Chain A
Amino acid sequence: MTENTTPTGGFSRRRFLELGAGTAAVAGLAACGGGKSADDAAGADPTGEFSAGYDGPEIELSYWNGFTGGDGPFMKQMVADFMKDNPKIKVKSNTVEWAQYYQRMPAAVTAGKGPDVGVMHLDQLATNAARKVIVPVDDLAEAIGLAQDDFTEDVWTAGIYQDARYGIPLDVHSLGMYYNTESFEKAGVSEAPADAAALTDALDKLKSAGNANPFWMPSRWPAHLMFLSVLWQNGGEPYATDGATATFDSDAGVSALTWMVEVINKGYSPKNVAQDSQYVAFKNKQVDVTWDGIWQINDLKAADMPFALAPVPVVGESSAVWANSHNFYITRQASQDENKLQAAKVFIDALSKKSGDWAQAGMVPARKSVRESAAVKDTTQAPIAAQIDDMRFLPPVPGLGDVQAQTLEIAVADAILGKSQPADALKSAASKATQLMGENLKKYEA
């Protein structure tokens, strides 16, 4: 039949299993005192210990990540290399699809069966910090010599929640513009368009070269990321940094969404583009231009098609693009055991230094020193790496990602599918988002 979960049964079964775990968690939290114990435990001269690496007993580290795509094999290799260098630390990897990751990971940590160390997105750090799943890593950042000037300000500050740092950035990844080099050549477009006029010009040329719809406008992923990018380009901010109000219905937002709808109205895109079809069509060579995450590079390379990657053109007033970042974190589960904590830190230190290898997975290393190395200069994503100062991140507000999924994403989809006008869709979504953000503030501050 359809899903066989009865409404109460589904939840309650889960709740029941967590009943026992929950009690343990409460006890753990009481001992933890808001995650501060992690600081104390490692507070004793962490720098000295690091140079010596890990010299405790043999230990097993549980490591969770969501690298299920073309990035997976590279992470696997990095972990294998680490274990060769550190025979006393056995790393047990668990790869969970990102879509499920943020639901399973906190539950597993609560039950004591979660990761000791893992990778999560920058925009999830605040939520998990507020929910006390992860612990601060300020001392680690200091000990491994992470300094603010090795990072852009945006990625650095987005990892800080309530004056404590919760993530060690591994990479940054943004939206980019993929284009079919063969079609571009055929249509006589010599270089990747960098602004709105050049984009229109290129699309017109592609149209006259025979592709009636060269640039499909998606209604779902990554439509909201395109919207945010153009909104930032227009000088807007989607949310107030204090997490109290949503401001994506500003003029900057309305004109961003209007531009997206125009792409359809002017005939560059067909109507009703369903989820993922613009990307599949790009791989099928039906679409010549598409905006997507730079993590798709390896997937497109495997598809053996003629493509190149360029920064998202400046449709608005100045260059800006949506970005996110993979960050290492340590859970409160690991912070209970001093050896585990130390091993986790050694692990993060080692992998963070190797982020040049990680560039092969299609990402842009977060550290300036690595980013400017030869390992990155020759990659497909090099033009994106150069754009790092234009990358914009969501502010570290707990629960914001979920608010966005319920409001902004739906408003964007509604406007693109022609169900409502951009201004109306954004206005009602923003007022609902503000209401939800108020509820979240109350919830996480209590």
Chain B
Amino acid sequence: MASSDTAASTTAGTASSERPEVSRPSSVSRGRREGGGAAPWLFMAPYLVLFLGFVIAPAIYGLYISLRAYDYLLPNKPFVGLDNYQKLFDSESTTYSDFWNSMQATGIFTLFSVPLLLTIPLLVALLMNSKFKGRNLFRALYFAPYVLGVAVVAVLWRFLLDSNIGLINQYLGGLGLPDGIPWLTSVPEAWVALVGVTVWWTLGFNAVIYLAGLQDIPGELYEAAKVDGANKWQSFRNVTLPGLRPVLAFVTMITIIASANMFGQSYLMTKGAPGIETRTAIYYIADTGLRNSQMGDAAAMSYVLTVILIVLSVGVFWLFRERKD
């Protein structure tokens, strides 16, 4: 990590020292620049083709779908204008209450999972960054759950958390604690279960990114802090955190987006129970579009969710940039 970064900065240094040369009006360099016109595009082409084909084009097509009563199997897909969007803001419609209920579920999940997924992995990373025996084993252990698929994780925990036949309640009872906790069929217990399982499952990923970030902070800074008489907390506050800022911005962003896209855990563990209280936005959108074949409605919901996520992401960017200056 550290070495590749050094390499990158060296390249950057060379490039900037060359800059005046390039901008000098010589026919040779102009020719080179024109010839270079196609090269960057060619280099970008493999990614660009996939990006256009699998992200941009479908997104535009999704917009088209959202303006229609759309079922891909029916011959006519009548144009309905903004009806599908209006329905989401009309309390009399069939989708209004379910959609906002699912958005609320996503909101609750994001609100509680993101802070935990930002702090706990940081603590784990700090621990894993210190030198002790068996460090690599622990690093692997913390990362291990992340390699499991959502189906495995959810089925595993569904049985562990079952209120009547689950191991967790069994153990709680053995310790003399309440043994009838409805982990999967009641809120707020179900949220505790869903957030807890998600943190257990994905903290390893964030921890690895933090760890990489920690290893990028030059040791001299810590030494300097020590010389200035900083204690552990002060050097964490003034060296580690600022050093992690770009990493923190990245982790915050992807964690928010991943939490907002939560689907598998509630689909498999609670089935949205109780009622539809843990049915998240993506869950409801998938149900509407793929199970009930109301793809126009589903596309409109997706767009509303996307806009909200974009606003949120811009907010996060702004927050981290502001402090940097």
Q: Which residues of A contact B (CB under 8 A)?
A: 1-13, 15-16, 18-19, 22, 25-26, 29-30, 102-103, 106-107, 110, 131-133, 216, 219-220, 270-275, 277, 280-281, 284, 286, 399, 402, 405-406, 410, 413-414, 417, 419, 432, 435-436, 439, 443-444, 446
Query: Given the complex, which residues of A lie within 8 Å of B261, measured CB to CB?
Result: 1-7
> 5 extra interchain contacts, Cβ-Cβ under 8 A, other than A131-B74, A270-B180, A271-B180?
A1-B261, A2-B265, A13-B54, A132-B75, A417-B275
- The answer to whether B258 and A4 touch across the interface, beta carbons within 8 angstroms, is yes
How many Å lie between the Cα of A22 and that of B70 in the bound state? 12
- The answer to whether A2 and B61 touch across the interface, beta carbons within 8 angstroms, is no
Query: Given the complex, which residues of B lie within 8 Å of A11, measured CB to CB?
Result: 58, 62, 65, 285, 289, 295, 298-299, 302
**Shortest distance from the beta carbon of B241 to any chain A beta carbon, whole Å:** 23
Considering only residues 117-159 of chain B, those with a C-beta below 8 Å from chain A are 150, 158-159
Query: Given the complex, which residues of B lie within 8 Å of A103, measured CB to CB?
Result: 290-291
Residue in B74, B76, B265, B274 whose CB lies within 8 Å of A414: B274
How many Å lie between the Cα of A298 and that of B71 in the bound state? 38
- The answer to whether B61 and A417 touch across the interface, beta carbons within 8 angstroms, is no
Query: Given the complex, which residues of A lie within 8 Å of B150, measured CB to CB?
Result: 2-3
Residue of B with least CB distance to A280: B165
- The answer to whether A439 and B94 touch across the interface, beta carbons within 8 angstroms, is yes
- The answer to whether A414 and B275 touch across the interface, beta carbons within 8 angstroms, is yes
- The answer to whether B186 and A2 touch across the interface, beta carbons within 8 angstroms, is no
Residue of A with least CB distance to B255: A1
Query: Given the complex, which residues of A lie within 8 Å of B57, measured CB to CB?
Result: 12, 16
Q: Which residues of B contact A (CB under 8 A)?
A: 53-55, 57-59, 61-62, 65, 69, 71-76, 78, 94, 98, 150, 158-159, 162-165, 180, 182, 184-186, 198, 202, 205, 254-255, 257-259, 261-265, 271, 273-276, 281-282, 285-287, 289-293, 295, 298-299, 301-303, 305-306, 309
How many Å lie between the Cα of A368 and that of B55 in the bound state? 55
How many Å lie between the Cα of A10 and that of B283 in the bound state? 12
- The answer to whether B65 and A15 touch across the interface, beta carbons within 8 angstroms, is yes
Residue in B75, B259, B273, B293 whose CB lies within 8 Å of A417: B273
- The answer to whether B182 and A272 touch across the interface, beta carbons within 8 angstroms, is yes
**Shortest distance from the beta carbon of B160 to any chain A beta carbon, whole Å:** 12
Residue in B65, B185, B289, B299 whose CB lies within 8 Å of A272: B185
- The answer to whether B61 and A15 touch across the interface, beta carbons within 8 angstroms, is yes
Residue of B with least CB distance to A109: B73
- The answer to whether A131 and B94 touch across the interface, beta carbons within 8 angstroms, is no
The 5 closest A-B pairs by CB, nearest first: A12-B58, A1-B258, A272-B182, A7-B302, A131-B73
Residue of B with least CB distance to A22: B72
From A1, A271, A284, A405, name the one whose CB has the most chain B CB atoms within 10 angstroms.
Answer: A1
Query: Given the complex, which residues of B lie within 8 Å of A25, measured CB to CB?
Result: 72-73
- The answer to whether B94 and A15 touch across the interface, beta carbons within 8 angstroms, is no
Residue in B58, B180, B276 whose CB lies within 8 Å of A9: B58
- The answer to whether A436 and B94 touch across the interface, beta carbons within 8 angstroms, is yes
Residue of A with least CB distance to B55: A9
- The answer to whether A435 and B94 touch across the interface, beta carbons within 8 angstroms, is yes
How many Å lie between the Cα of A219 and that of B273 in the bound state? 9
- Contacts A2-B259, A131-B74 given: A274-B254 contact, CB under 8 Å? no
Residue in B59, B94, B254, B263 whose CB lies within 8 Å of A3: B263
- The answer to whether B263 and A8 touch across the interface, beta carbons within 8 angstroms, is no
**Shortest distance from the beta carbon of A5 to any chain B beta carbon, whole Å:** 6
**Shortest distance from the beta carbon of A344 to any chain B beta carbon, whole Å:** 20
Query: Given the complex, which residues of B lie within 8 Å of A280, measured CB to CB?
Result: 159, 162, 165
How many Å lie between the Cα of A18 and that of B98 in the bound state? 28
Query: Given the complex, which residues of B lie within 8 Å of A18, measured CB to CB?
Result: 72
- The answer to whether A443 and B69 touch across the interface, beta carbons within 8 angstroms, is yes
- The answer to whether B73 and A110 touch across the interface, beta carbons within 8 angstroms, is yes
- The answer to whether A3 and B53 touch across the interface, beta carbons within 8 angstroms, is no
Residue in A7, A271, A286 whose CB lies within 8 Å of B285: A7
How many Å lie between the Cα of A446 and that of B262 in the bound state? 35
Can you pick out 29 interface pairs between chain A and chain B where the beta carbons lie within 8 Å of each other? A1-B261, A2-B150, A2-B265, A3-B261, A4-B258, A7-B285, A8-B302, A8-B306, A9-B54, A9-B55, A11-B58, A11-B65, A12-B57, A12-B58, A15-B62, A16-B54, A132-B74, A132-B75, A216-B164, A272-B185, A274-B273, A275-B158, A280-B159, A399-B293, A413-B273, A419-B275, A435-B94, A436-B94, A446-B74
**Shortest distance from the beta carbon of B183 to any chain A beta carbon, whole Å:** 8
- The answer to whether B303 and A8 touch across the interface, beta carbons within 8 angstroms, is yes
Query: Given the complex, which residues of B lie within 8 Å of A419, measured CB to CB?
Result: 274-275
How many Å lie between the Cα of A220 and that of B272 in the bound state? 11
How many Å lie between the Cα of A265 and that of B300 in the bound state? 43
- The answer to whether A277 and B162 touch across the interface, beta carbons within 8 angstroms, is yes
- Contacts A8-B306, A13-B58 given: A271-B182 contact, CB under 8 Å? yes
How many Å lie between the Cα of A43 and that of B264 in the bound state? 48
How many Å lie between the Cα of A10 and that of B58 in the bound state? 9
How many Å lie between the Cα of A413 and that of B277 in the bound state? 12
**Shortest distance from the beta carbon of B108 to any chain A beta carbon, whole Å:** 14
**Shortest distance from the beta carbon of A57 to any chain B beta carbon, whole Å:** 31
From A7, A220, A443, name the one whose CB has the most chain B CB atoms within 10 angstroms.
Answer: A7
- The answer to whether A2 and B184 touch across the interface, beta carbons within 8 angstroms, is no
How many Å lie between the Cα of A101 and that of B182 in the bound state? 31
How many Å lie between the Cα of A102 and that of B291 in the bound state? 8
Query: Given the complex, which residues of B lie within 8 Å of A26, measured CB to CB?
Result: 75
- The answer to whether A402 and B291 touch across the interface, beta carbons within 8 angstroms, is yes
- The answer to whether B75 and A29 touch across the interface, beta carbons within 8 angstroms, is yes
- Contacts A274-B158, A414-B274 given: A3-B282 contact, CB under 8 Å? yes
